[in-house]
Structure 1
Amino acid sequence: MKRIAVYCGASTGNHPIYTQAAIQLADWFIENHYELIYGGGGVGLMGVISNRILAKGGQVHGVMPKQLVDRGAESAQLAALSALTVVADMSERKAKMMQLSTGCIAMPGGVGTLEEIIQSFSWARLGDNPNPCAFYNVNNYYQPLITMFDQMVTAGFLSAEDRQKIIFSDSLSTIQQFMATYVPPRVRTYPESQPNKSASR
């Protein structure tokens, strides 16, 4: 079974299309026998996806920092999970979710969602994450970020080749195909530092 990490918010947003898309994503997991790797919460889009998958008999693996578990956060939700991994902090949670998964998908969300998927893509370019990263671009939510990524290429801060290693799409079949044929970016290498000629004079 493939394990896919989903990054999404503890809010459902202010339009029903985001909740509908989360339900569609959950059903896609069930249809393809994928296991969900996520942050362990039971509210917002996190709750919509995880509860739907659990209700349909699917596998859901939560990864949550110890401090939140100790506070009794989402105790009812945690008891329903197929598996739970408790980690020291948020940084370890991000690393663990990447380690457990074979792919990463970002739903529409806030700064935490954006941080997680951007780190996953950044680590892929460093050779620390071999898994594909995708933005589920519901309602064209990530259009400004698409523009930003293209601007990085135009300005010379991101190679055109690496730009093709991340996808923005509102089609789960397109995302699935991207993941099935994904080849990780070539790990960046740096030429050896040249001696400072002026210093030897």
Structure 2
Amino acid sequence: MKSIVVYCGANPGINPIYAQQAYRLGEVLAAKGIRVIYGGGNLGLMGKVANGAIENEGAVTGIIPNFLAKLEVAHQTLTELHLVDTMHERKAKMVAVSDAVIALPGGYGTFDELFEILTWSQLKIFTGPIGLLNTNGYYDLLLQQLDKMVEEGFLQPHNRSLLLVDSDIEGLLIQMESHIARVGGNKNLDRSLYVDDGDGSTP
């Protein structure tokens, strides 16, 4: 893995462990020479991940819509910062330049990004590993819901297994590397399948 998209909250959460783990993830990815691709913000867990990488000589690419950058929430010390027009364009571009995805705790936006990439993986539009860093048991109830979806016949077991889960950063990265070895690398399909061309056809 040369680059990983990180989805996470623009808030830090109440428990300081969330910010600590976010910073630590950036630090670990920097040490491994893995570029962080994220939403370009300087607030909450987003800012912590970026700072963790930057302050440890890692590379960080931020992708942020113009309207958010104008609200002065864009991080100013990234390796690269790309401005885009829409949230759809942001999400597509983040995935297009990445080998894998990790989701940290977050709110609506993080859930939206996580379930969209899981849907793309189910459809084989994206074939890289998708990891969930379950810090402090944040996603325990969500994981129970996924199991309920399998139990009730709305989610196939092999699609349930697309989400790799660990509460430990190193353990999660090991699972993700194993996924890549299993599928023979990240073989994402034609970028045109998931980059918005402006006609509203993005999956």
TM-score, normalising length: structure 2: 0.84
Partner in structure 2 of residue 144 of structure 1? 141
User: Post-superposition shift, 1:73?
Assistant: 2.2
Question: 1:107 aligned to 2:104?
Answer: yes
SS in 1 for 2:12: coil
User: Post-superposition shift, 1:92?
Assistant: 1.0
Question: 1:174 aligned to 2:171?
Answer: yes
> Counterpart amino acid of 1:105?
I
Question: 1:6 aligned to 2:6?
Answer: yes
SS in 2 for 1:156: coil
SS in 2 for 1:13: coil
The alignment's C-alpha RMSD in Å is: 1.7
> Which is further off, 102-111 or 167-176?
167-176
User: Post-superposition shift, 1:26?
Assistant: 1.4
Partner in structure 2 of residue 134 of structure 1? 131
SS in 2 for 1:181: helix
Partner in structure 1 of residue 84 of structure 2? 87
Partner in structure 1 of residue 72 of structure 2? 73
Partner in structure 2 of residue 45 of structure 1? 45
Partner in structure 2 of residue 197 of structure 1? none
Asked if structure 1 preserves the Cα contact closer than 8 Å seen for 2:135 and 2:167, the reply is yes
> Counterpart amino acid of 2:66?
K
User: Post-superposition shift, 1:16?
Assistant: 0.8
User: Post-superposition shift, 1:72?
Assistant: 5.4
Question: 1:24 aligned to 2:21?
Answer: no
SS in 2 for 1:128: coil
> Which is further off, 33-42 or 156-165?
156-165
Partner in structure 1 of residue 56 of structure 2? 56
User: Post-superposition shift, 1:154?
Assistant: 0.6
Distance 1:172 1:131, change over 3 A: same
Q: Deviations over 1:62-116 (max 9, x none)?
A: 00112233x25235x23x1111222220011111111111111111111111110
Asked if structure 2 preserves the Cα contact closer than 8 Å seen for 1:26 and 1:50, the reply is yes
Q: Deviations over 1:99-151 (max 9, x none)?
A: 11111111111111111011111111112112111110000100011001101
Flag structure 2 segments of 5+ consecutive residues without an equivalent: 187-203
> Counterpart amino acid of 2:17?
I
Asked if structure 1 preserves the Cα contact closer than 8 Å seen for 2:31 and 2:58, the reply is no
SS in 2 for 1:57: coil
Q: Deviations over 1:47-68 (max 9, x none)?
A: 1111221122110000011223
Computing the radius of gyration over CA atoms, which structure comes out larger, 1 or 2?
1
One of 147, 159, 164 as aligned partner of 1:162? 159
Flag structure 1 segments of 5+ consecutive residues without an equivalent: 185-201
SS in 2 for 1:68: helix
> Counterpart amino acid of 1:64?
I
User: Post-superposition shift, 1:34?
Assistant: 0.7
